[in-house]
Each structure stands twice: as structure tokens, then as C-alpha cells.
Amino acid sequence: MQLIYVVLIFVISYIVTFFSFPIMIPRLKKAGIVGKNMNNEKQEEIAEMGGLVIAAGFGAGIFFAIFLRTFFDIFISVSLTTILAVLSTVLIVVIIGVFDDLLSMRQWIKAIIPVFAALPLMAIKEGYSMMRIPFVGLIDFGIFYTLALVPLGITGAANAVNMLAGFNGLEVGMGIVAVGSLAIIAYLIGQTVSLIILMATLGALVATLYYNWYPAKILVGDVGTLSIGAVMACAVIVGNYETAGAIIIIPYLIDFLIKAKNHFPGKNWWGVHKDGKLYCPESGPVGLCQLIMKLCGGISERNLVLVLMGIEAVFGVIAILVYI
């Protein structure tokens, strides 16, 4: 595996993303594509749909990898069909995210529609139907893997990341930890295609954090959150390490279960802002974020995000240890 070229993919993705934001932020504001920074006392409006820039950086990294493969025979073992199928899946999710940001889809529609983004991967029967289940062993899911587990993985991961969001730097910060952990595993087990996908994403996310960290200059929007989840799912599917994906997604699953218990609140769930800290609403925790607010007796938005990144890092380390 040519590690130097993998690093170059990260660099290309980072550069394209980092220098695109100063161009896009004023244009998004001028177009009226803005959202309220809900956890700021002033709740000022800032540019939204920064996920478009993440997608651009990701695409640049992927096309650079294709360029190396086509003209210099680098990554010669990499299937261009697989790379293009993954790119197609992510771009379909990006389009879904754009529609959601602009039109505010109903929750049940947003939960289901990413299934269609899995069609490119299903069309080429990407992934391995044989899966090693902890404490069970190898199981061959056959055609059920392609027709059910692949689309379920794409929509599940996309929606999980989309739900654990809403705080400056949260989606991107946790995404960096999750994607970085999966990239380490991909390198350890020699899954080049998966590593290319993840490094292109990681470069875009690291660059985005500069603009999305508290106090955020831009929000990534649903186009960003859905895309991050979709990339994670694509990576573990093509790399055949779904167990790692299942471990990485646990914090998001915990958030989902808490929100499901509270019937997925649509508003007034962020937290009570007082004296520079966020406090759990009187009605009780409605998600993982509010549970942390309650356990801490109030916490700043910056520290809340750091705690959640730390939690994600713990599961990232566990996933890595499984594959060492």
C-alpha cells in the first residue's frame, strides 16, 4: 500500500475544503441559506449547508485517487467500479441533504429515502456476504446482504449522524474521530479502497472543523451530517469490517434510543443556555447531549462537544483493538 499517496489524498481534500469555505460562506449568506446558531445566547444567523464544501473536498480527494490509478498505475489493485459506486452513493446522499436543508423533509421521509442512495453499491453487489459476528462466528447472509443489509447500513449510519447533531463542531468533531478510527483499521487490514474513501473524507472534515468549531462560522447542515454517515457505512461495506462500524456507531445508537424514548422531539430540545453553559431541560434528557448536560450539572458547548468526541474516541479505540 503506497502510504505517501494516501497522505496526498488527505492533503488534496484538506486544501480544496479549507480554501473553499471563504468563497462559499459569503455566497451562502447572500443567497439567504442561513440557520440560527441555536445554542448561542444571541442565536445569530450564520451560513448553512457547509456540507456542500465537505462533499467538494471529498470529491477532489477521490478524483485525485482515480487520477493516480488511471495515469500512473498507483493503487493498481483498486477497483474503479467500486470507487465510482461509492462516489455515486455519497453524491446521492448529498442531493438528499440539499433537499432536506432547503425543503425540511418530514422525519419519516428523511429516515427512509437514503435507502435509494445504496443502489449503486447494490448494483455491483459490493461487499462480502460472509460476516464475522462476535460470539457467533462467520455467517453467510447471501443475497440478503446486498438487498437488505447494505441499504440498511447506508440509511442507518446517515440518519444516526444526522440525529446526534446541533452543536458547534459536534458532527464534524465526532466524524473526525470515527472516520480516523476506521481509517486506522483499514490500514491495519490492508483495505486500500476503504482507506482512500476515509482519507478523502478525513481531509475534508479536518479542514471544516476550523470553520465549524465554536463559535461556528458555518453550519454543515443535513447535507453534511447525512454525508458523513454515508461515507462511514460505505467504507466498512467495501472494506468488509462491519463489526468496526457497529462499534463506532454505538454513541449514535445510544442517542437514538434516548430520543426514541422521548418520541423524537422536533424543537426546544437543545438545552437551556445560562451563564455561558448549557443545562438539561426541566423535562429531562431528550438525547445523549442533554444527558451529559444533566450529569455535568451544566456544561459549555465547547466542552460538551469535547466530551462527546472523547466518548467516540473510546469506542474508536475498542474497534481498533478488535482488529489488531
Full pLDDT tens readout for the chain, 324 residues: 588 999 999 999 999 999 999 999 999 999 999 988 766 666 788 999 999 999 999 999 999 999 999 999 999 889 999 999 999 999 999 999 999 999 888 888 888 899 999 999 999 999 888 877 767 778 888 899 999 999 999 999 999 999 999 899 999 999 999 999 999 999 999 999 999 999 999 999 999 999 999 999 999 999 999 999 999 999 999 999 999 999 999 999 999 999 998 888 766 567 788 888 999 988 778 899 999 999 999 999 999 999 999 999 999 999 999 998
Domain count, the chain: 1
Residue 196, domain member (yes or no) = yes
φ, ψ dihedrals at 169, nearest 5°: 85, -5
Specify if 109 maps to a domain.
yes
In a domain, 292, yes or no: no
User: Is 305 part of any domain?
Assistant: no
The CA–CA distances, whole Å, from 161 to 71, 74, 127, 191, 229 equal 36, 33, 22, 24, 5
Within a domain: 110: yes
pLDDT the model gives residue 134: 67
Q: Determine if the peptide bond prior to 251 is cis (ω within 30°).
A: no
pLDDT at 130: 81
pLDDT at 159 (0 to 100): 95
Instruction: Please check whether residue 287 lies inside any domain of the structure.
Output: no
Per-residue pLDDT, 41: 63
The answer as to whether 269 is a domain residue is no
What is the span of the domain harbouring residue 135? 3-244
321, part of any domain? no
Q: What is the model's pLDDT at position 275?
A: 82
Dihedrals φ, ψ of 176, to 5°?
-60, -45
Predicted local distance difference test score (pLDDT) of residue 214: 92
pLDDT of residue 44: 82
Predicted structure pTM score: 0.94
pLDDT attached to residue 40: 66
